[in-house]
Amino acid sequence: MTAYLDHAATTPMLPEAVAAMAEEMSHVGNASSLHSSGRRARRVVEEAREQIGAALGAGPSEVVFTAGGTEADNLAVKGLYWARRAGDERRRRVIATPIEHHAVLDPVEWLVTHEGAEVVWAPVDRAGRVDLDGLAELLDDEPHTTSLVTAMWANNEVGTVQPIAEIAELAHRHGVPVHTDAIQAVGHLPVDFAASGVDCLSVSGHKLGGPVSSGALLARRGLDLVPVQHGGGQERGIRSGTLDVAALRALAVATALAVEGLPAEAERVAALRDDLVRAVWKAVPDAVLNGAVPADLDEFGPTLSAQTGLDRLPGNAHFTFPGCEGDSLLYLLDARGVECSTGSACQAGVPQPSHVLLAMGVPEPTARGALRFTLGHTSTTDDVAALAAAIGPVVERARGAGLASS
């Protein structure tokens, strides 16, 4: 039996979302058509929009549907940059954090290469948390040249949660809009779009129990966004393309259920996560927990961060294992029926150390020994027990192989 510990990559669809999607797929109708079938499809879309808005603290008109989180991030970063730059040619600067997902980093770098943008990196501490004083200094420095700030709500690798409301407040003092990639946060942490103060927020369905290729960008009323794609003018002209009615209905069902059950589920998953961390430390005492450290774990084991508190995703446990290569550990665990992730990028087939860990000040050799374990709504004590039984022998074997090859 496989222990699936990679929910941050994708989590199984909720049964209710599967049922809603299957039922909707039996109907025909383009939500842009004016006949009866089209109007029925439009009604489903608008009900989904209302449901998602209500769950996430946004008005229905602030929910712009996309085909996933990557599209939402691209629309926010490029759309904001182009709109702001059109209003003032001096606004060439993008402030981003160096720990962003590549769905944000790559659009930023594309703007630098193709659109004359300048990127400035907001500093982060050893836990991967944005340094607010450092961000304030960047914003104070020629704010009229800044087009936007983009900072993820919770990091997909180490699980650290950012002070999003404070970031938005700092940026808004200078009239700078803020985008947050909340793809790992929605359904796992309390997320209130209006209360956060951000201007736009990205959501992805398959991270919270909805279908792959479904998502949304929450964009505050009156926010000027230049479309990334053009066509039929759907979604207020911001995002053209025929709407996937079945996927959006399933996305709405999954979002509502995840948010409704969040307090109890977050507590359950966090308890499993803490058991997992203790099990890893018992088997491998020198394993290092990366990112913000939950308060009830700060007495256990070594850690790269002295920061404690409730500022970590409930289902995230990210370790580095000295003397090991993350890829070797991943394959050895997979052979024992435990599925997880290295959390690091691979380019051209060559494993690279995580840019997140490097930005946090982790030395490159150490960063190569990273593994990310993430739990979700299907996780059980059996999954933790499977990892607990496998991790010690796997690390021992990986270290032995490393010594033999050195």
Q: Which amino acid is at 245?
A: V
Q: Contact, 45 vs 31, CB < 8 A?
A: yes
77's enclosing H/E stretch is: helix 69-87
Intervals of CATH 3.40.640.10 along the chain: 15-260
72-128: pLDDT as tens digits: 999 999 999 999 999 899 999 999 999 999 999 999 999 999 999 999 999 999 999
pLDDT, position 402: 64
pLDDT, position 405: 53
Q: Which fold has domain 15-260?
A: Aspartate Aminotransferase; domain 2 (3.40.640)
> Which residues carry out catalysis?
346
Structure tokens at 396: 């021992």
First to last CA, the chain: 35
Structure tokens at 214: 């479904």
pLDDT, position 347: 43
DSSP state of 29: -
Q: Contact, 310 vs 295, CB < 8 A?
A: yes
Distance CA 98, CA 125 (A): 11
15-53: pLDDT as tens digits: 999 999 999 999 999 999 999 999 999 999 999 999 999
Q: Pairing mode, if any, of strands 338-339 and 3-4?
A: parallel
Intervals of CATH 3.90.1150.10 along the chain: 262-405
Find, among 135, 142, 103, the residue nearest to 121 by Cα. Answer: 135
337-355: pLDDT as tens digits: 999 999 754 443 456 899 9
Over its C-alpha atoms, the chain yields an Rg (Å, rounded) of: 22
DSSP state of 343: -
Distance CA 127, CA 109 (A): 24
Q: What is the mean pLDDT of residues 56-77?
A: 98
DSSP state of 62: G
pTM value?
A: 0.94
| pLDDT of 225 over the 50 cut | yes
User: Looking at per-residue confidence, does 91 or 310 come out higher?
Assistant: 91
Find, among 202, 157, 205, the residue nearest to 345 by Cα. Answer: 157
Per-residue confidence band for 240, with pLDDT thresholds at 50, 70 and 90: very high
| pLDDT of 368 over the 90 cut | yes
Find, among 165, 158, 104, the residue nearest to 129 by Cα. Answer: 158
pLDDT, position 298: 55
Q: Which amino acid is at 171?
A: A
| pLDDT of 404 over the 70 cut | no
DSSP string, 242-274: ---HHHHHHHHHHHHHHHHTHHHHHHHHHHHHH
Per-residue confidence band for 299, with pLDDT thresholds at 50, 70 and 90: low
Q: What is the mean pLDDT of residues 359-382?
A: 97
Q: Contact, 343 vs 155, CB < 8 A?
A: no
pLDDT, position 400: 86
| pLDDT of 331 over the 80 cut | yes
395's enclosing H/E stretch is: helix 381-405
Structure tokens at 185: 């946060």
* Phi, psi at 297, each rounded to 5°: -115, 0
Q: Is the CA virtual torsion 309, 339, 345, 258 positive or negative? A: negative
pLDDT, position 307: 46
Sheet of 200-204, strand order: 63-66, 215-219, 200-204, 178-181, 146-150, 93-96, 118-121
- Residue written as tokens 């050895």? 332
pLDDT, position 1: 86
pLDDT cut 70: percent of the chain above it: 93
Per-residue confidence band for 204, with pLDDT thresholds at 50, 70 and 90: very high
Find, among 129, 125, 122, the residue nearest to 108 by Cα. Answer: 122
Q: To the nearest 10°, the Cα dihedral for 252, 255, 256, 257?
A: 120
| pLDDT of 303 over the 80 cut | no
* Architecture per CATH, 262-405: Alpha-Beta Complex (3.90)
pLDDT, position 80: 98
Find, among 211, 123, 136, the residue nearest to 166 by Cα. Answer: 136
Find, among 193, 168, 192, the residue nearest to 95 by Cα. Answer: 168
Residues with Cβ within 8 Å of 406's Cβ and at least 6 positions away in sequence, in order, are none
